[in-house]
């Protein structure tokens, strides 16, 4: 083994990812006394999606009151659960949703106890239940980082886990790459907790940071773990399109959700028409994220978009006095409540608000959240013994719409994985490493360094983004999906084998080499998403097909599960797990299904 790698490390539990899910899992698992190691692609507190969060944490009204907030007294865990099932269009795993509701106050209490500052609690609306405890991503990850450091939990930063190791069908370790030194590290362990986030970077236009490349999902798939709902990709409708330096920012979407700003904006097409009047004349821009996204995209695809491929976000119709008030309120909240020092808040937002006194901003639909991923149960266990997963790299809980907070999802599932992985390792002994498996992984990883000609990572990424943008975007259809599946399959089976690193043959700080490894993961996730999208012949929640615009509860109230076995992709269909709420029947238009699902829960 020593001649294959530069370093061998042993631990009980390997946690891949250090932020909202991974950090929470590590802190919880440390209570057991087990040996823990965190590996993260960047610096703890400075990588992944958690730092970019708004960040809202969802707790039912009763749970909120128990935490000391003004929780809605009409609310309860049962009502919260009902909302999650119904607004997820009944496709969610009800056991997992029950656990989410149960653990949300526990995970929130952890963060508060660890010192995370909370700057507001959403006040109750007249008919809707308010469940938002508001902080910021910066405060969230800073709290986790401080606690991890305080507990002296070992962490390898700037290190990427390349693949998982199994023996006799269970987890025995992993292979990793030190990005700075170029060293190849083999880790022996009894359990792995994946907390690697989504695969946003498979899309050119997205809202995620650079390190969201689907590593955990692809690694799990390669060792035979089941994935679920890979077709469910959520797009954010108010994502900055222009100027280029701000492309992908969701700052206007975050602010849109804050009254009175949210009820004042207009989304306009190039003809100056408020197009939401044609899609949801009652709620207009305050319609669901899914409907606003689809409406915007239809305007763009039908030639009524803005010059840079979006639509216009307009406040010009408001009075100058109102705009001045908005700027004052926004600046006050950022400086005195959120204390968020990110460029988006301190510089971009004030600039945008000042600009929008006379001009409109251009916004579009960025790939924002991955509703599918590694299939887990309510205990965060995958279908591979010893492999756990938490946060956005998982799938199956939300169904067709991520209804509630991904921040809470990360904390809840991280906490559960941190509780249960230590219990699992007490039942097993460290398995032997399969030398042939390790050798195969390292040889494949080094392949691009050994080739002198072929396709560069940049060329392959451009090909991938062209396919994802044109064939597997927000609005899908069968013809495009068929072509997309075939084209990505070619990239995986042919182009990927020609990938070569042109800049340097040294592994040290070789970001072209690093991207070559990530591309395999992005292409794997994109391929599986396209394949399952082609199978789902309906429109439901965040999934929309122009050739099947109905939500078909009779034929398609089922999840698509996919896995790799003997080098081939196997697919099966499963009825969502039911505990309390039965599944509906019938066929509805897309808008009708969304309307029924999101009708306000009125309570006396």
159 near 211, Cβ under 8 Å?
A: no
C-alpha angle 58/64/68, rounded to 5°? 135
Burial, 112: exposed, middle or buried (Cβ in 10 Å; 0-12, 13-18, 19+)? middle
Task: Identify the segments of the chain with pLDDT beneath 50.
Answer: 123-127, 259-260, 600-604
- Supply the pLDDT for residue 414: 98
300 near 364, Cβ under 8 Å?
A: yes
Q: Which residues contact 494 (CB under 8 A, 6 or more apart)?
A: none
- Supply the pLDDT for residue 124: 42
- Give the integer Cα–Cα distance in Å for 128 and 126: 6
Which pLDDT tens digit goes with each residue over 232-272?
Answer: 999 999 999 988 888 988 888 876 655 445 567 899 999 99
Asked which of 341, 364, 387 is the last residue of a domain, the reply is: 364
73 near 65, Cβ under 8 Å?
A: yes
DSSP 15-73: EE--STTHHHHHHHHHTTT--EEEE-SS-TTSSSSGGG---EEE--HHHHHHTTS---T
- Tell whether 94 is covered by a domain: no
- Supply the pLDDT for residue 333: 63
Kindly state whether residues 445 and 342 are assigned to the same domain: no
94 near 577, Cβ under 8 Å?
A: yes
- Tell whether 506 is covered by a domain: yes
- Tell whether 149 is covered by a domain: no
- Tell whether 195 is covered by a domain: no
Kindly state whether residues 356 and 258 are assigned to the same domain: yes
- Supply the pLDDT for residue 422: 98
Kindly state whether residues 332 and 447 are assigned to the same domain: no
Q: Which residues contact 554 (CB under 8 A, 6 or more apart)?
A: 585, 586, 587
139 near 126, Cβ under 8 Å?
A: no
Residue 330 lies in domain: 237-364
- Tell whether 260 is covered by a domain: yes
Kindly state whether residues 443 and 344 are assigned to the same domain: no
397 near 579, Cβ under 8 Å?
A: no
- Supply the pLDDT for residue 13: 98
Kindly state whether residues 440 and 357 are assigned to the same domain: no
Kindly state whether residues 448 and 557 are assigned to the same domain: yes
136 near 444, Cβ under 8 Å?
A: no
- Tell whether 473 is covered by a domain: yes
Asked which of 324, 349, 364 is the last residue of a domain, the reply is: 364
103 near 412, Cβ under 8 Å?
A: yes
- Supply the pLDDT for residue 556: 98
- Give the integer Cα–Cα distance in Å for 196 and 41: 9
- Supply the pLDDT for residue 332: 65
- Give the integer Cα–Cα distance in Å for 118 and 121: 8
- Supply the pLDDT for residue 559: 98
Please give the model's pTM, rounded to 2 decimal places: 0.94
- Tell whether 519 is covered by a domain: yes
- Supply the pLDDT for residue 454: 96
- Using DSSP's 3-state secondary structure scheme, residue 377 falls into coil
Kindly state whether residues 458 and 345 are assigned to the same domain: no
Kindly state whether residues 442 and 558 are assigned to the same domain: yes
- Using DSSP's 3-state secondary structure scheme, residue 575 falls into coil
- Structurally, the chain folds into a number of domains equal to 2
* CATH code, domain with 523: 1.20.58.100
- Segment holding 418, helix H or strand E: helix 406-425
Kindly state whether residues 464 and 548 are assigned to the same domain: yes
Kindly state whether residues 261 and 346 are assigned to the same domain: yes
Kindly state whether residues 446 and 549 are assigned to the same domain: yes
- Tell whether 95 is covered by a domain: no
Asked which of 364, 390, 413 is the last residue of a domain, the reply is: 364
Among 231, 291, 235, 233, residue whose Cα is nearest residue 267: 291
* CATH code, domain with 339: 3.90.700.10
Kindly state whether residues 319 and 440 are assigned to the same domain: no
């Amino acid at each position: 083994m020593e001649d294959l790698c530069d370093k061998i490390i042993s631990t009980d539990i390997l946690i891949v990812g250090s932020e909202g899910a991974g950090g929470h899992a590590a802190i919880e698992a440390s209570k057991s006394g087990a040996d823990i190691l965190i590996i993260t692609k960047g610096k703890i507190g400075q990588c992944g999606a958690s730092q970019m969060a708004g960040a809202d944490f969802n707790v039912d009204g009763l749970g909120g009151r128990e935490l000391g907030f003004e929780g809605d007294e009409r609310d309860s865990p049962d009502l919260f659960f009902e909302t999650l099932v119904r607004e997820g269009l009944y496709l969610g795993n009800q056991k997992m949703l029950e656990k989410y509701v149960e653990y949300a106050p526990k995970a929130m209490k952890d963060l508060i106890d660890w010192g995370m500052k909370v700057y507001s609690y959403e006040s109750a609306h007249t008919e809707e239940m308010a469940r938002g405890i508001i902080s910021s991503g910066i405060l969230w990850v800073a709290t986790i980082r401080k606690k991890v450091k305080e507990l002296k939990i070992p962490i390898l930063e700037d290190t990427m886990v390349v693949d998982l190791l199994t023996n006799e069908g269970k987890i025995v370790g992993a292979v990793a790459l030190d990005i700075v030194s170029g060293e190849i590290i083999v880790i022996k362990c009894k359990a792995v907790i994946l907390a690697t986030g989504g695969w946003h970077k498979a899309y050119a236009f997205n809202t995620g940071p650079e390190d969201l490349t689907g590593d955990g999902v692809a690694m799990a798939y390669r060792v035979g773990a089941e994935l679920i709902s890979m077709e469910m990709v959520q797009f954010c409708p108010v994502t900055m399109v222009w100027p280029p330096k701000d492309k992908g920012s969701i700052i206007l979407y975050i602010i849109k959700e804050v009254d009175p700003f949210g009820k004042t904006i207009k989304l306009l097409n190039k003809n100056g028409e408020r197009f939401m009047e044609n899609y949801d004349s009652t709620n207009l821009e305050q319609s669901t994220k899914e409907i606003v996204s689809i409406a915007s995209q239809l305007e763009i695809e039908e030639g009524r978009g803005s010059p840079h491929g979006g639509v216009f976000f307009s406040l010009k119709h408001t009075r100058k006095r109102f705009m001045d008030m908005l700027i004052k309120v926004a600046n006050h909240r950022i400086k005195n409540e959120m204390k968020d020092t990110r460029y988006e808040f301190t510089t971009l937002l004030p600039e945008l608000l000042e600009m929008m006194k006379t001009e409109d901003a251009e916004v579009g639909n960025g790939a924002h959240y991955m509703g599918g991923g590694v299939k887990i149960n309510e205990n965060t266990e995958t279908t591979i013994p010893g492999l756990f997963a938490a946060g956005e790299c998982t799938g199956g809980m939300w169904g067709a719409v991520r209804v509630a907070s991904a921040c809470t999802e990360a904390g809840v599932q991280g906490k559960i994985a941190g509780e249960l992985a230590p219990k699992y390792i007490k039942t097993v002994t460290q398995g032997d490493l399969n030398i042939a498996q390790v050798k195969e992984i390292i040889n494949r990883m080094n392949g691009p360094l050994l080739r002198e000609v072929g396709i560069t990572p940049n060329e392959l990424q451009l090909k991938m983004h062209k396919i994802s943008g044109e064939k597997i975007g927000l609005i899908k259809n069968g013809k495009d999906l068929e072509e997309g599946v075939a084209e990505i399959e070619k990239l995986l089976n042919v182009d990927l084998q020609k990938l070569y690193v042109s800049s340097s043959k040294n592994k040290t700080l070789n970001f072209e080499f690093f991207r070559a490894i990530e591309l395999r993961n992005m292409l794997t996730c994109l391929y599986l998403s396209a394949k399952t999208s082609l199978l789902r012949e309906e429109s439901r929640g965040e999934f929309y097909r122009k050739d099947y615009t109905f939500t078909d509860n009779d034929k398609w109230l089922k999840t698509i599960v996919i896995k790799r076995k003997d080098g081939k992709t196997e697919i099966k269909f499963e009825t969502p797990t039911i505990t309390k709420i039965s599944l509906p029947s019938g066929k509805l238009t897309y808008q009708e299904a969304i309307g029924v699902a999101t009708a306000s829960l009125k309570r006396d």
